[in-house]
Homo-oligomer: A and B are copies of this chain.
Amino acid sequence: MLKHQETSIPQHRKVYEILRSHITGGVFGEGDFLPSENELCTVHHVTRPTVRKALDRLTNEGYIVRHQGKGSIVKGSPKGVGILSMTGTTSAIGQDNLTTTIIIKPEIRTWNNAFNFPLTKSEIESGCVYIERLRLVNGKPVFYDITMIPNVNLPRFTSRNFENKSLFDILRKHYHVEVRGGEQQLLAIVADEKMKGYFNVGQGHPILQLNRKIETNRAGFYIYSQVFCNTDEYVLYGTF
């Protein structure tokens, strides 16, 4: 048997990625049984502890539930992994009805802080890529977000098209940047003049505000994001 050539990506991670893509891609639907651990072993040419490590992660992230004696059942793509616990607004809603309007195209800016989160000297010196977007669910503006990303080692980033695409998917696919976790602040505010225009709401309308500092697999590389939500029709939903 061959050790692990190619890329040095761990086997359990490969198996995880494959199964994950099969779940999100619809190969396995909600309620379906995954192949048994032993079957997955033979298919992917690994042993059971390796398969189990992949399944452990899928379980932790809410993609599957396992039952002793029965098997692993697909729970579906964890909807709430969206805005409240992991990635971005795209996965929070489900890509179907979400459209995006770019208000400020990605541009290089200088910065001194990011939504109350302090920056390192290195981050300040690098400058940032600044983006403002308005996200519409079924044509109704629901999210208005500002994203700031340190301008380091992201070739051709500002020239990419972000319409109707998940920022995190782009970072994942093209730059191998993966979201690891992060911290966030939540608060309720009233809409200011700008918000009133974007969301088409009246005076004193309540708005949900999130300030987020998002960790990635690149050491010291954080993404900063501020999201304003009109929760009139669409509340934020999450699992934990």
Using CB atoms and an 8 Å cutoff, list the residues of chain A in contact with chain B: 49, 56, 60, 62, 80, 84-86, 181-190, 204, 206-208, 229, 231, 235-240
Whether B239 contacts A183 by the Cβ 8 Å rule is yes
- A188 and B204 contact, CB distance less than 8 A: no
Interface centre among A60, A85, A182, A238 (most CB of B within 10 A): A238
- The docked-state distance in angstroms from the alpha carbon of A188 to that of B207 is 6
In the bound complex, do residue B186 and residue A231 qualify as a contact, i.e. CB atoms below 8 Å apart?
yes
**Closest B residue to A231 using CB positions:** B187
A229 to B206, CA, bound (A): 13
Shortest A33–chain B CB gap in Å is 19
Q: How far is the CB of A69 from chain B (nearest CB, A)?
A: 14
Given A206-B206, A206-B207, the answer on whether A186 and B240 have CB atoms closer than 8 Å is no
Bound complex: CA A236 to CA B185 (Å): 5
Contacts A56-B56, A181-B239 supplied; 19 other A-B pairs, CB < 8 Å: A84-B85, A84-B186, A84-B240, A181-B240, A183-B238, A184-B237, A184-B238, A185-B236, A186-B235, A186-B237, A187-B208, A187-B235, A188-B188, A188-B206, A188-B231, A190-B190, A190-B204, A190-B206, A206-B207
- Interface pair B236/A186, CB less than 8 Å apart: yes
CA distance A184 to B78 in the complex (A): 13
Closest chain B residue to A237, Cβ basis: B185
**Bound Cα distance from A86 to B85, whole angstroms:** 11
Q: Which of B231, B238, B240 sits near A86, CB closer than 8 Å?
A: B240
- Chain B residue nearest to A81 (CB atoms) is B240
